[in-house]
Amino acid sequence: MSDQSKQEKLDAMLNGLYWWGVPTLFRCPHDPEPDNCDIALVGVPHSTGNGTTERDQHLGPRAVRDVSALGRRAHKVFNVDPWKQCRIHDLGDVALPEANDNEASVQRITDFFKRIDTAGTRPVSVGGDHSITGGILQALAGQDAKLTGGKKVSLLHFDAHTDAFHHIDHFLGAKKSAAHWASYLVRDGHVDPHTSVQVGIRGNPRTLDWLEPSYDLGYEVIDIERYRAMGTVRASEIILERLGDNPVYITFDLDCLDPTVAPGVANLECGVEGLRVDETMAMLRSVKGGNIIGGDVVCLMPTKDSPNKQTSLVAMSIMFEMIALISDTLDNT
């Protein structure tokens, strides 16, 4: 083995250790300019869109930065090494000086991601509550968006909740809230619900018509009972049928996972078993080859996580899947 090869292996080992150096996402270079990379990693430390007491979601990006060096690996299933195939940088966090004003913060998120869209760079983000997806897709999808070519985006949405409550004006004061984004993005021309899927919805509802808003909008809903009846293979087939060859954005709420898998999340649904890691990984990997323009992982609550930071590690693993999917997309365009 040459000295250069030995050094590369040593560097790979050291870069995969999280307890030394400056903690960037996946130990990528920190560079705030989206023009300088192919894939932009972004922290969105926002928690005012979830109008409950579950407010510590703004600590999620820092928690994932702390552990994510462990995820700087090659993808075994795809047989790719995204860190070598693409320029991947940590752009830092969206600045939110009006952090307690949800609507102002959502606009700040949109402004930040508009720069990423203008650069033609594909983002993978960590939140933050689920209202961040609204801010992100206002920039990345629909009329004038570069990444979608001015088209609406098809959404692959993993969640325990539909977040499509357009029949109420606000969620405890927040209008573009964590409960509204899947609705207003359709209304405002950013998401095509007829080519989108919501997966993993579960739990006893607050009202018996809880899925009607999603159906009215045009979403395909694979709730947990339907998923258990059909299995992963058929669910993946439906996902692919819906998404087609459209530009795709993946948003992953960690509460879709069973609480034994991801205990540190906001709005836990403990009464019905949630998705397992292997199940979600299989569905994510089924969209390999699609036009994935970006993704986000949301609703991490580090202050409720287990001492070994289990949920942060799961969030990091989901982000890595998105990075690998986008790396594959870029490698084939």
What are the structure tokens assigned to 228, written together? 């258990």
Q: Is the pLDDT of residue 265 over 70?
A: yes
Q: Is the pLDDT of residue 83 over 70?
A: yes
List the Cα angle 152/158/83 in 5-degree steps.
80
Helix pair 132-140, 102-119: axis angle to 10 deg:
40
Q: Is the pLDDT of residue 146 over 90?
A: yes
Q: 4 vs 1, 17, 266, CA distance in Å?
A: 8, 20, 46
Residue 119: give the domain boundaries. 3-331
Round to the nearest angstrom and report the end-to-end CA distance of the chain: 34
Total domain count, the chain: 1
When pLDDT is averaged across residues 99-104 and rounded to a whole number, the result is: 91
Q: 9 vs 3, 14, 25, 81, 297, CA distance in Å?
A: 10, 9, 20, 14, 30
- pTM of the complete model: 0.94
Report how many helices (DSSP H) and strands (DSSP E) the chain contains, helices first. 10, 8
What are the structure tokens assigned to 259, written together? 């609480």
Please report, as a single letter, which amino acid is at residue 6: K
Site of tokens 């998404």 = 243
Over the stretch 1-47, which tens digit does the pLDDT of each residue have?
A: 677 677 777 777 777 777 778 899 999 999 999 999 999 999 999 99
For residue 128, cis peptide bond before it (omega within 30 degrees of 0): yes
CA atoms of 112 and 284, how far apart (whole Å): 26
DSSP letter for each residue of 220-259:
EEE-HHHHHHHHHHHHHHHHHHHHTTSEEEEEEEGGGB-T
* Confidence class for position 53, pLDDT limits 50, 70, 90: low
Over the stretch 56-70, which tens digit does the pLDDT of each residue have?
A: 999 999 999 999 999
The CATH number assigned to the domain holding 44 equals: 3.40.800.10
